[in-house]
Amino acid sequence: MLFIDKKISRRLFSGLLLVAVVPICIMDYGIYKIVQKVVLRSACTQIETVKMDHEHHLSIWFKELLNDIRIISQLPCIRELCGTHKLMGENDFAKTHLPDLAKEILIMTRAKSPSYKSMNIFSTSGEILASTDPHSDEILNFDHQALFDAALKTGEPVLGPAHQHSDQMWYMSLAAPIKTQEGEIIAYALAVLDASATLDPNMKDRFGLGKTGEAYVVSRNRQIITESRFLSRSETVDRVFSTEGIDMAIAGKRGTGIYTNYMGRKVIGSYTWLPQYNWAILVEMGEDEILSPMKTIRTALILTTAAVGVLSLLLALFMSRRVSLPIIRVAEASHEISEGHFEQRIPYSGTDEIAVLSRNFNSMAEKLANMITSLRHKEASLQKAYEELLEIQQQLIQSEKMAAVGELVTSVVHEMRNPLSSVKLNLQIIGRTLEKKDLLAEHYQIAIDQVSQLEKMFTDLLNYSKPFNLQKGLVSIDRLVDESLLQLQSLISCRATTISRKLGDNLPPLWADADKMRQVLVNVVKNAIEATGQEGSIEITGHVKNHNGKNLITIAVTDNGTGISSQDLKRIFQPFFTTKKKGTGLGLPIVKKIMEAHGYKISVSSEEAKGTVVRLKMQGAETHE
């Protein structure tokens, strides 16, 4: 951690941070939060004031409208119109001058305000007695019975809920009961209001709301009634909005807070539910715009803190260079040497105590490096001797095991060969008495073949179990390949197999037992010939490469035969495992044993239906061993 770092420069810088930078940061943060809180409180007050102002204007406006409809319902001529209609028949009533007079009064009242869409007089049975627009959709298609029932219940003018028509505009209806002198309700005065044309101008007054603020009205169904600042009217039609402010207002609550508006922007909003109008009014303003003056304050505070931090850092660096830099170099060099980097040296000049310390340190580092190098050489020699000892030990153990197995196998084979020879001799005597085309002659031949197979297996088993006594000498690889192919000539001649050889001219000789290595090559090539069938191709290649001053030779025998499955490939060096009908399963184990006895390696790679590659990896002879 910075405050407990062992470096003097960092501890000095940490101290300056604690004394100067940290208190300034805490103070700046506190000032910033206080100013932010004051700005937000002021904004909330301002937005709530704007909301109350809009609410007050709406209240005055609706009082005037309700007063208009009340005056109409109380006019004597309107009462006379309704009373006459109740006493006279429909035809007799139409002949009077009362409908025209009432219509004139309604027209004059409608002309007082652009909010009125139409003015109407309805009988209690729902019949139009007088209207400024008797054929409008609002009159013909809208059911005002619920509004009339509310007026009948209260006996006073009532305001209906806002509703939307097919023209995407919002309308409201006001109704007042028309009573006789005795108080009997005989008709209703109905005023249809264009709510959009009236509310939009009122809500568009965004004084004090900046560039991101707006005031709008929401119905109980969460539809925006007034025109939105950010969305066109077609975008708000039949769309339901849900924000924290809208949800709180619909729930009948009044308040001011910070939340996300319907555009996904964080705002400070004030909301309230107006039950008398059955809608909510919301006033909102973007939080980022309200807090925009805070950016200047924040920038100034950050710059102040950064300046103090930079000055503290420069002072710490200056002090550390003058006081602690030489000591730090010694400490860092010591750490590097402890990590194994012994080439570290400390530059020095002068004759003071630091220079003496640096000179002695460099001398110590050089002596330590020489000592470590010497120890590493000795360690490598010991490790090599240990590995050679383990290898010799493994060879001795393996030799002892093979000697024991050899004695056992030799004894068992010797005991089994005598009865087997007797069986073979008797079979041959019997065979002389049989006709060649006789059915018994066929069974005789099978028995003779099986006896020969057993004899071959015993021979291979003896060869596998006996420890090798290698007679090493210089062996030419070219000559080894020639003699191996010559030994297989009888097998090759009866097939159409093509054998090609690509041995390099610079292959060095081997220091090996020629007979055993010939046995290895004969066995590998014979397997390749048998795998390719009557027609196939075999390629024998050889190359040498120098590795750490040693000539590593690789002889590869490649065939295009049937290949070996991945499962069988894991078992090919196991004794007695074979896929051949007359195989003993000891060919490749003997090959591997010969290779390992020489200190060589063998590897096999194969793919079914494509072929097999056997690689013999040997070390070329450099001098006579």
Per-residue DSSP letters for 107-132?
HHHHTT-TTEEEEEEEETTS-EEEES
Q: Does residue 143 have a pLDDT over 70?
A: yes
Q: Are 557 and 528 in contact (CB under 8 A)?
A: yes
* Structural tokens at position 474: 């210089």
Nearest-angstrom CA–CA distance, 55 and 351: 89
State which H helix or E strand residue 22 sits in.
Answer: helix 22-74
597 vs 4: which has the higher pLDDT: 597
Closest to 591 (Cα-Cα) out of 527, 548, 532, 541:
527
Strands 116-123 and 128-131: antiparallel
Nearest-angstrom CA–CA distance, 571 and 559: 20
Lowest mean pLDDT among 111-120, 426-435, 505-514: 426-435
- 3-state SS assignment for residue 501: strand
579 vs 284: which has the higher pLDDT: 284
What integer is the mean pLDDT of 127-143? 80
- What phi and psi values does residue 399 have, to the nearest 5 degrees? -65, -45
pLDDT band at 401 (very low <50, low <70, confident <90, very high): low
Q: Does residue 610 have a pLDDT over 60?
A: yes
Lowest mean pLDDT among 180-194, 308-322, 465-479, 556-570: 308-322
Q: 């079914």: which residue's tokens?
A: 608
pLDDT band at 399 (very low <50, low <70, confident <90, very high): low
- What phi and psi values does residue 283 have, to the nearest 5 degrees? -125, 125
Nearest-angstrom CA–CA distance, 330 and 339: 14
Nearest-angstrom CA–CA distance, 277 and 161: 7
Q: Residue 474: what pLDDT? A: 92
Closest to 559 (Cα-Cα) out of 583, 585, 594, 524:
524
Q: Are 147 and 93 in contact (CB under 8 A)?
A: no
Q: What are the pLDDT digits (tens) for 248-257?
A: 999 999 999 9
* Structural tokens at position 446: 């099978």
Q: What pTM, to 2 d.p., does this model score?
A: 0.46
- 3-state SS assignment for residue 547: strand
Q: Does residue 604 have a pLDDT over 90?
A: yes
Q: Residue 3: what pLDDT? A: 43
Closest to 518 (Cα-Cα) out of 483, 542, 543, 550:
483
- What phi and psi values does residue 503 have, to the nearest 5 degrees? -100, 135
Burial 567-595 (b: 16+ CB within 10 A, else e): eebeebeebeebeeeebbbbbbbbbbbbb
Lowest mean pLDDT among 2-16, 162-176, 328-342: 2-16
Q: Does residue 169 have a pLDDT over 60?
A: yes
What integer is the mean pLDDT of 71-80? 84
Indicate the angle between helix axes 76-87 and 98-110, nearest 10 degrees. Answer: 140
Q: Residue 10: what pLDDT? A: 66
Indicate the angle between helix axes 514-532 and 477-487, nearest 10 degrees. Answer: 50
* Structural tokens at position 495: 């097939």
* Structural tokens at position 387: 């590995």
Alpha helices of 503-606 — where are they, by DSSP H? 514-532, 566-569, 587-597
| Per-residue DSSP letter, 433 | T
Q: Residue 410: what pLDDT? A: 63
Lowest mean pLDDT among 394-408, 417-431, 580-594, 607-621: 394-408
Domains located in the chain, CATH noted: 75-198 (3.30.450.20), 199-292 (3.30.450.20), 342-467 (no CATH), 470-619 (3.30.565.10)
Q: Residue 266: what pLDDT? A: 92
**Average pLDDT of the chain, as a whole number:** 80
What integer is the mean pLDDT of 175-190? 88
Q: What are the pLDDT digits (tens) for 543-560?
A: 998 888 788 999 999 999
Nearest-angstrom CA–CA distance, 81 and 98: 6
Q: What are the pLDDT digits (tens) for 569-597?
A: 888 887 777 777 766 677 788 888 888 88
Percentage of the chain surpassing pLDDT 70? 81
Q: 């000795």: which residue's tokens?
A: 378
Alpha helices of 75-165 — where are they, by DSSP H? 76-87, 90-94, 98-110, 137-140, 145-154
What integer is the mean pLDDT of 37-43? 86
Indicate the angle between helix axes 76-87 and 22-74, nearest 10 degrees. Answer: 60
Return the top range by mean pLDDT from 114-123, 215-224, 328-337. Answer: 215-224
pLDDT band at 468 (very low <50, low <70, confident <90, very high): low
Q: Are 268 and 301 in contact (CB under 8 A)?
A: no
Q: Which residues have CB under 8 Å from 468's CB, separation 6+?
A: 513, 516, 593, 594, 597
Q: Is 26 exposed, middle or buried (0-12, 13-18, 19+ CB in 10 A)?
A: exposed
Nearest-angstrom CA–CA distance, 217 and 410: 110
Q: Are 379 and 440 in contact (CB under 8 A)?
A: no
Q: Are 310 and 21 in contact (CB under 8 A)?
A: no
Strands 537-547 and 498-503: parallel
Side chain identity, residue 335: H
State which H helix or E strand residue 47 sits in.
Answer: helix 22-74
What integer is the mean pLDDT of 74-102? 69
Q: What are the pLDDT digits (tens) for 92-129?
A: 555 455 677 778 888 888 887 778 888 888 888 888 88
Q: Residue 414: what pLDDT? A: 60
Nearest-angstrom CA–CA distance, 254 and 464: 101
Q: Residue 241: what pLDDT? A: 92
